[in-house]
Amino acid sequence: MNKISNYIQGNWIDGDGEELTAYNAINGDAIGVVSSEGLDYKGMLDYARNVGGPALRKMTFQERGRMLKALALHLTERKEKFYALSAATGATRVDSWIDIEGGIGNLFAYASLRKQFPDLPYAVEGDVVPLSKGGSFIGHHILVPKRGVAVHINAFNFPIWGMLEKIAVNLLAGVPAVVKPSELTSYLTELMVREIVESGILPAGSLQLVSGLGRGIIDHVTNQDVVTFTGSAATGMKLKTLPHIVANSVPFNLEADSLNASMLGEDAAPGTPEFDLFIKATRAEITVKAGQKCTAIRRIIVPEKYMEDVQIALGKQLQKTVMGDPSVEGVRMGALAAKVQVERVRKSVESLMEEQEIVYGNLDDFEVTGADKSKGAFFSPILFRNDDPFTKTKVHEIEAFGPVSTLLPYKDMDEAIRITEMGRGSLVTSIVTADDALAKEFTLNTAHLHGRILILNERCAKESTGHGSPMPLLSHGGPGRAGGGEEMGGVRGVKHYMQRTAIQGHPETITRITEQFQVGADQPEANPHVFRQHFEELRVGDTVFTHKHTVTDADIVNFANVSGDNFYAHMDVTSLEGTIFEQRVAHGYFLLSKAAGLFVDPKKGPVLLNYGVEQARFTKPVYSGATVGVRFTVKEKIDQEKRSEDDIAKGIVKFLVDMYDETGETVAIATILTMVKKLDQS
C-alpha cells in the first residue's frame, strides 16, 4: 500500500510500522498508510535550529517576504494537483478553494507585509524613549527572531490552509517550522510539502513535515521554540500544561474549536434583506466543509417572534442542498473528512438530543448523490431547536464538529448577550442587522468573549468575506473555551515569533544598532549633497545643513493667496487676543514647503521622486522676522526589488526634516520618503 511519508532533516522518510490508514472520504478506498514511529524528534528540532534558523536569520524581512511571494506563485501554478487530491477529503470545489487558495492567499498577504518592516533581519518597534535630561541616554525596543522552531500541530479540517496560514507568519519572522497535520488528511499536506521542497525556494531546514501521530514531537522543545496547536480544547490544554512546557516557559498558542454564534437583529424581520442574508450565511456555515470549520455557526440566536420564520426558511434552504460525491454535477455538500469523524459527530448529536429537538435532518435517513453512504463519511445536516437555552444548557457545552447547529430564541438584547456569553468564549460571533446602534450595543457587550465579530448587513454583504473566514492580517483566535491564543494578525502575529528586547545607550550607538537615525546621534555633514548620492552610498546619519531663510509678512500673505488658507492666525492680527499667538504666524505647510526649497538639490541625479510625508509636526510658532534653517538627515534605508527586467534598481530612503529657528529650537519636524536610484542596475 502507498506510504504517506515524513520530510525530516532534508529527506523523505517512512515511519516504522503502520499507525493509521487514510481513506477516501467519498468512496472509502484506502489512500495510504501513515506512520511517524521511530522518528528522531530531537534531531529534527536540532536540524531546524542549526540549519534552517541561521539561513532564515541571514535574510532580511524584504528577502523573506519575496521568498513567500515566490512560493505563493509557484503553488498557484500547481493548484489543480491539490484540488484533485483534496476531493478525497470529502471537499467540494468551494471547500477546496477555501483550503488551497485561502492558504496560498496567506502567503501573498504576508509577502506584502514585508513593506511594513525594515530591510534588516530584525525589526525596531515603537518610538524612542528619552531617559536623560541632556539626551545622551535613550531607550528603544528591537525584535529579533527566536532561535528556535515553530512546531505547528494542526487539525484535520484544513490540511493546506492550516499549514500555510501559520508558516507564512513564522517564515517572515525568520523562524523555521516543523508541521504536524492531522494524520487523517496528512496525505494532502504531504503533496503540497513535496511541491514546496522540489521548488527549492525555501532554505534547507526551514520546513519539515511529520505526517503521522507525532508522539514525542514536543518532548524536546525549549524556551526559544513556539508551539501552536489547533484542535480540541481538551487535547490542547493537556499539551499546554505538560511539565516541561510550563517549566521552560515555552510559548504555546492554543486555538480551540468553539461554540460560535450568530445573532439575528430584531430589526431584521422576515422580508428584509438582512433576514435573507442571515438565512444564506447560516446555511453556508452549516454546509460548507460539511460544517467542519472551527469558525462554523453552532448557535443560531434569533428573536423569539421570528423563530418559526427562521426555522422554516432555513429548513427550505437546507433541503435544497444536495449532498454526495462533489464530482457529480449539482452536489453542493461533501462528506466529513473520515468515518471516525462521523462517529464523533454522531455521539455529540445524540448527547444534544437529550435536551433539544431535531427540526431538520436525520442521523440515518438521508440521501447521498453519486456515492454509497455506507462506504463514505457522509452526515446529514442537523438543525436543532432549543426553546429554553437558559435551562437546557448542553448546547453551550457540546460542539458537534460537523453540519450541526441549534436555533435559540431571545426576548431582548440582554438575553441575546447572555446566550452568547454562555459559550464561554469563541473564535467568532456575528450579528446581522441594519441598525448600527443595535450593532454597537451588541459588539461592545460581547467583544470581551470573542476573537472576531462580523457585523453583516445589505451595505457590506456584496464584499463581505463572511462569518467563517478569518483574514490573514486580522487576528484569529479567541478567549476562554477558544483557547486564548492568536494566529495570523499581520504584524502582531509576526511578533509572536520574535523576542522583544529593550536596548539602552547613547543615541549614536542606538542608531548603529537599529539602522535608524535617533535624535542626538552624530550628524556628519554629507559630502556630496545627499541628493547627489546613490542608494548604496548613503549612510544613516549623514546630514545636509541648509542655508537659512528669514520669514517675512510677504511670505505669509503670498502663501495664503496660493493655498487659499486664510485662517485668522495667519491673516488677521486683530483676532489674536486670547490665543497662544503673539503676532501673525506662518503657515505650518509654508514651513514644510520652504524646508523643501532649502534642502532640495535641484539638478537631475539619483533621487527619482519624493512620494510622501510622515509624522509631520509643527512644534513652535514661527513669526515674521524669524530665521529658519533645516537639518536634513538620512533616517532609514529600505531596499526595493525590481518589478521587471526593465525596472530601475532603486531603494526607499527616509529623510528626517528638522527645521529650526535662530535659537536652535525645532519649529517643524517631518519624515519624507524618496525613491533613490542604485549604482548597481543589475
Please give the Cα distance from 572 to 566 (Å, whole number).
9
User: Among all chains, which residue has been given the C-alpha cell 487558495?
Assistant: 101
The answer to whether residues 277 and 462 touch, using CB atoms and an 8 Å cutoff, is: no
End-to-end CA distance of the chain: 51
Q: What would you report as the CA-atom Rg of the chain, rounded to the nearest whole angstrom?
A: 30
Q: How far apart are CA 53 and CA 41, in angstroms?
A: 16
Question: Which residues, listed in sequence order, are joined to residue 254 by a DSSP beta bridge?
Answer: 229
The answer for residues whose C-beta is within 8 angstroms of residue 427's C-beta and 6 or more apart is 255, 258, 260, 294, 295, 450, 451, 452, 470, 476, 477, 478, 482
Beta carbons of 538 and 531 less than 8 angstroms apart: no
Instruction: Give the DSSP H or E segment for 107.
Output: helix 93-112
Assign 464 to helix, strand or coil: coil
Torsion of CA 443, 448, 454, 458, to 10 degrees: -10
Q: Write down the H helix ranges in 149-267.
A: 161-173, 186-199, 233-240, 243-247
CB 529 within 8 A of CB 544: yes
Distance CA 609, CA 19 (A): 62
16 SS3 class: strand
Mark 195-222 as b/e (b = at least 16 C-beta within 10 Å).
Answer: bbbeeebbbebbbbbbbbbbeebbebbe
Supply φ then ψ for residue 228, to 5 degrees: -120, 140
Residue ranges of E strands in 55-193: 123-130, 138-145, 150-153, 177-180
d(CA 211, CA 217): 11
- Grid look-up 470581551 returns 448
**Could you give the CA distance from residue 517 to residue 223 in angstroms, rounded to a whole number?**
33
Q: Whose CA is closest to 10, among 48, 59, 67, 55?
A: 48
Rounded CA gap, 158 and 181, in Å? 9
Decide: 164 and 141 in contact? Cβ < 8 Å. Answer: no
**Is residue 101 annotated as part of the catalytic site, yes or no?**
no
Q: Choose, from 101, 183, 190, 294, the residue flagged as catalytic.
A: 294
Residue 518: DSSP 8-state: -
DSSP string, 416-458: HHHHHHTT--EEEEEEE-S-HHHHHHHHHHHGGGEEEEEEE-H
Would you state the cell numbers that stand for residue 676, as one nine-digit string? 533613490
Q: Which of 255, 274, 399, 636 is catalytic?
A: 255
Ordered DSSP codes for 124-143: EEEEEEE-SSSSS-EEEEEE
- Is 460 known to be catalytic? no
Active-site residue set: 255, 294
